[in-house]
Amino acid sequence: MNHVLFRRPAVGADRYAMQHGSTCPAALDAFADATEGLAAYRRDIMPAVERALAADEGCVAASALKGLLLVLAGRAEALLAAREVWRTMPAEAATSDEIALCVALREGLRTGPLAAAAALEAHLARRPDLLLFVKLSTMLRFVGGDVAGMRRTTELVLPSWRRDRPGYGYVLGCHAFALEEAGEYAAAERTGRTAVGIAPHDAWAVHAVAHVHEMTGRPADGMAWIEALRLAWRGCNSFAFHLSWHLALFHLERGDHARALDLYDTEVRPDRSEDMRDYGNAVSLLWRLRQHGVAVGDRWDELAGIARRRRHETTLLFGTLHRLLALLAVDDLAAADELVAAIDAAAAGTGEQATVAATFGAGLARALRATAGTAPLTGLAGRLAPLGGSHAQRDVFVRTLAMLAERSGDTAALAEILAVRRRMKRDDRFLEVLAT
């Protein structure tokens, strides 16, 4: 890092306590809007960042946040754009808050999301009142699959927060999700409901409680919860697609395949977004419907087209493996083989994703690609967390490994896979699929 090294006294703080070197009130207001937008998953996060930069092109925090948002996008072109943001960062000195944000961007580009989160958390140890840092840490740990890290951060900062501090509900929502992913379902539901009561537009807290319903086998409660709060979350960004994905999973569990497909068309996949998160929603829902024997028409075609174009992209293995499923769904084995080869090549690189590829990602890709019984299935299901995402999202891979084990007659592998699944999730309708 050859710039933004020298600290100067803060000129002022925005309404979420971030200290800036910028003297422009319009830039600080816009940056605070971006912070609030990120916490609430609003559609105007990046426009607010751009407004801050338009008001003051030397707003260091806005440049760093822009870069981190691009890192979180998880696509190759977004990562290239993040590197360009870093290359053209303002050269002015900044406050300690801004420096910490810049260091997080640097570490995210050098190594990966977990390194970026660690940089933010080192600063949170001194400044636990920064909503932006708490939210970014949660998002980065989520992408990196570090449940313990998410929980550690929220437990670190919460004692310093009071209910009347702006942003408290959003911090509580982050804690609710960390509890859910740790299997603390009663505490997660209680905390998530409290968070929504304080911050009704906190889609992440709504999502945390929906996860509890998913993991504890309560689809009717989950449907009622999401639908009752629809007015609160329908105006958020593409995270609304993900909440609709959860709603579709609840309908699938209740055997309403028609409603699940309708939700796919109208709310889960209303456009052809190539965002890794939107794409993952679509692929995993169609794959589950496929496992249940539901015909989905030509819906796979556009997903497979994206997968073919991105078959050499391994920016985030979570997205890469979802693209593999799309290629397998249309029997494009040649493109699938190229994708698996790309993961093998990534395993020889450096950084967090290279480690994921080397330790189990390449083996998982080969298991998914292979015909039943021709690739090892043991030892995979229990190692998926570093892929990122949630237990509910990674379940698409666990289910697939279970089906491969069952069809190949590998009873030991099947028992291991189901035991892994039962650690976090109550038995569901999927077991009927296995028995057919």
Average pLDDT for 221-237 = 95
Establish if 143 belongs to a structural domain. no
pLDDT per residue as tens digits for the range 114-123: 999 999 999 9
| Angle CA 199–205–206, to nearest 5 | 100
CA 232 to chain centre: 20
pLDDT per position as a tens digit, 248-272: 999 999 999 999 999 999 999 999 9
- Does a structural domain hold residue 259? no
**Tokens describing residue 9:** 């006294």
Q: Does any domain span residue 414?
A: yes
Encode pLDDT of 103-154 as tens digits. 999 999 999 999 999 999 999 999 999 999 999 999 999 999 999 999 999 9
Q: What rounded mean pLDDT belongs to the chain?
A: 95
pLDDT band at 6 (very low <50, low <70, confident <90, very high): very low
Which of 133, 163, 194 is the last residue before a domain boundary? Answer: 133
Q: Per residue in 389-410, is it b (16+ CB within 10 Å) or e — as a string? A: bbbbbbbbbbbbbbbbbbebeb
Does the pLDDT at position 17 exceed 80?
Answer: yes
If phi > 0 it is left, if psi is from -120 to 50 it is alpha, else beta; for residue 352 that is alpha
Q: Which amino acid is at 185?
A: Y
Note whether 257 and 296 are within 8 A (CB).
no
User: Could you tell me which residues come within 8 angstroms of residue 257 by beta carbon, excluding any fewer than 6 positions away?
Assistant: 251, 289, 292, 294
> Is 35 inside a domain boundary?
yes
Q: Specify the number of domains making up the chain.
A: 2
Listed in sequence order, the DSSP H helices in 185-256 are 185-198, 203-215, 219-228, 230-233, 239-253
| pLDDT per position as a tens digit, 381-399 | 999 999 999 999 999 999 9
Domain boundary among 103, 118, 133: 133
pTM reported for the whole predicted model: 0.96
The percentage of residues in the chain with a pLDDT greater than 70, rounded to a whole number, is 97
**For the chain, how far is it from start to end, CA to CA, in angstroms?**
58
Q: Which residue range forms the structural domain that includes residue 410?
A: 283-436
